[in-house]
Structures are given as C-alpha cells and as structure tokens.
Structure 1
Amino acid sequence: MNSDLFFLMAKHNDNVGGTISYGPCGEDIRKCTNDEFGHVGTLESLYVLPGYQGQGVGSSLIQALMTRLKEMEVTHFCLDSGFKIAQTKWLRKFGAPYTIAKDYWGKDGDHMVWLCKVQDLL
C-alpha cells in the first residue's frame, strides 16, 4: 500500500455521494511535462454520483482536500485530464492548463495538465 495515496469521501446519512483522491504524480503527467512534476502530488479521481451532482459535492470535496493538503504543508498539486467533458469543468475551476499535449490520445485527443497552488483554492 502506498502511504502517499489517500481518499476522502462525501457522505450524506449513510450514503457515499462522492470521492476524491490525492497521490503521487502519474505517468501521463510525467510524460506531458518532461517529468517536471515528478515531485508534485496529484488530485486524482474526483467522482460524484449522479444523484449528488450539481449540489456542490465536488466543490466541497476539492475544498476538503485543499484543507488537508495545507495541514500536510503541501503548497502545490497537479491534475490532468484527457476527457473533454472533464477538461471543460477543470478549465472553469482551475483556469488555463500548464500544458496541453496535442493529440496525446490520437487526433483531437488532447491531454491537459494543470499546476495549482493549494492556497488559491482555500
């Protein structure tokens, strides 16, 4: 088990409404940044169940993660996405990506990588 990886859950009563995780830099980020972010942890796997979407659960999970990262004295994190729907949401939430790997997943399959400051999201 990797102790650098952890998950947070959003619960309502006894139901899990969403999860978010944080862990070591992934291979796609390493490739897209020439390993510049190999030392930076990654916001990973933000999932909100359909019945809980549009209610601020994802934003609350991100906020809880930022609070935890600040407690851990982490100043920066990265995230990445190759999914167009997720990219649209991340562009709105985090602004312009640090880099875009054009056609990484094939024609028109760009991969985006963000480098974010924890403090900016608290």
Structure 2
Amino acid sequence: MASKTNTAVAVNFLDNIKLQCENDPSKYSDFLSIMKAYKKRRISNDEVVLRICELFNGYPSLIREFNSFLPPGYVLEPSSAREESEPYITLNTPEGVTVYPRDYAVRRMGRSPPPQYRPRPFDIEA
C-alpha cells in the first residue's frame, strides 16, 4: 500500500496532467491506460518509460515530474528548448545512460523492450 506522501505526490501529478493537458484530455486517460497495463504486467518498466516520454512529448515538466515514480538511480531528462531541433530524452540508470528520440516509442517496430532491459519495480499504483 502506498504511503500518504506517495499518494499525495501521485494525486498532485494527476492534477498536473489534467491542468497542463487541458486542451488534450486524452493524455490523462492515456496515462491511466499505461499505468493499468503496467500494473497488470502487460508492459515492462522500460516500456512505461518509453510510452510516458512519447505521451508527454512537448510537456518537459511532466516528464521531469514523473521521475518521482521511477526506481532509485533512474532519471528522465528531456532536451532543453534550445535543443528542440532534435528533441530527445536522456534516461540515466545505474547501468548507464541511454538517449532516445522523443518519438522512439512510435518509430520503433514492434513492442520489444530496448536492449538494456532489466526489470525493476516502479513505486506507482494505478
């Protein structure tokens, strides 16, 4: 069961999604779908990260805020505004650094996890 602090952080994050994506409410339901698929173990941890990066493409503050739910040692960092000609996401993990184009989840063929895939639990309850 999530602690009250974790629950408050999660509720705040959901509120921020609604607020920042008010012109595209499907992002909120898509986020919930991703989390439900993860909870049911239909998608891997890495797949969650990739889908979140794609879903919140153009919303760097949401990507940064999602870091609160990643395992220790994992950090997502979207490219800055001055680097937007080639937007990317940097994923730092204890195993190393991987850089993905922001649309990686859409462009790749199939739904297999990236080569560095190692299952790690997230601290998220959907």
TM-score (norm 2): 0.32
Q: Which has the higher contact order (CA 8 A, sep 6+)?
A: 2
| Structure with greater helix share of residues | 2
| Structure with greater strand share of residues | 1
TM-score (norm 1): 0.33
